Amino acid sequence: MKTKFLGKNEIGINYPGSSKILDPIVRQKKLSDIAGVDYWNAYEFSYLDSNRLPILKVVEITIPASSPITVESKSLKLYLNSFYKKKFISESVVLTKIIKDLSKLTKSEVKAKFIRKFSAEPKSLDINKTTLKFTKPNMPICFTGFRSICPVTSQPDFANIYILTDKKIEIKWLRSYIISFKEKGEFHEQCVEDMLVTLINKYPNSNFEVCGRFMRRGGIDINPIRSNKKNITFKNFRVFNQ
């Protein structure tokens, strides 16, 4: 996979102050009817207000899972970083530009907003600590310590995985399956989608929702949610190690 910036030294890179810096990635979908979103939280976003004073914000960007294209993370970081020397008359103008540029890139309806507080982490069953053999239906499941590999840089990515289902799941099998990703070279979104597809195939006629809360890189964390049901339960919450 060829990318503009990922896996490359930033020294000497010219940062154009426009959407041209954004690098598109075509999604590799395994099911056509998967619902969900990708929550991108950018913690180091700065711009100039109407008085040319620097403003620091946390911006939440929501990209629908149905989009045919997503954005490469390092290019998004560089794009957002370029705002630090641009003047805007209001917060809404800033957000409108982000929404417009990313919606055009991803060919979807992207949302963006500034946030001051995250939703609470859902109460869940930690399958790394429980002595139960099976999960309980309709109770969120949590696996801490997920690891995968970036397919471009080969650097490790870490996350906490949350699963919600109306089915009883064998915990020993589920743990082993999630651990099997530790040497797998896939982007965050694809890892979560792979889990959903596997769960659907192993437990047919069941509802599943899988959420990956990944650790941040370059001031941004990516949190995909995938489900085979229309209504998404998990919110953009934040866990302690994010």
CATH 3.30.1130.10 fits 19-114, yes or no: yes
Name the catalytic one among 23, 38, 101, 157: 157
Give the CATH fold of the 125-227 domain. Answer: GTP Cyclohydrolase I, domain 2 (3.30.1130)
- Arithmetic mean of pLDDT, 95-110: 98
Q: Calculate what percentage of the chain has a pLDDT beyond 70.
A: 93
Question: What pLDDT is recorded for position 19?
Answer: 82
3-state secondary structure of 93: helix
What is the Cα–Cα distance from 29 to 51, expressed in whole angstroms? 45
Spell out the domain ranges in the chain.
Answer: 19-114, 125-227
Q: Would residue 157 show up in a list of annotated catalytic residues for this protein?
A: yes
- pLDDT per position as a tens digit, 58-82: 999 999 999 999 999 999 999 999 9
Q: pLDDT-based confidence at 31, cuts 50/70/90?
A: confident
Q: Half-sphere exposure of 228 toward its Cβ, with a 13 Å CA cutoff?
A: 20
Single-letter amino acid, residue 145: G
Q: Assess whether 150 carries a catalytic annotation.
A: yes
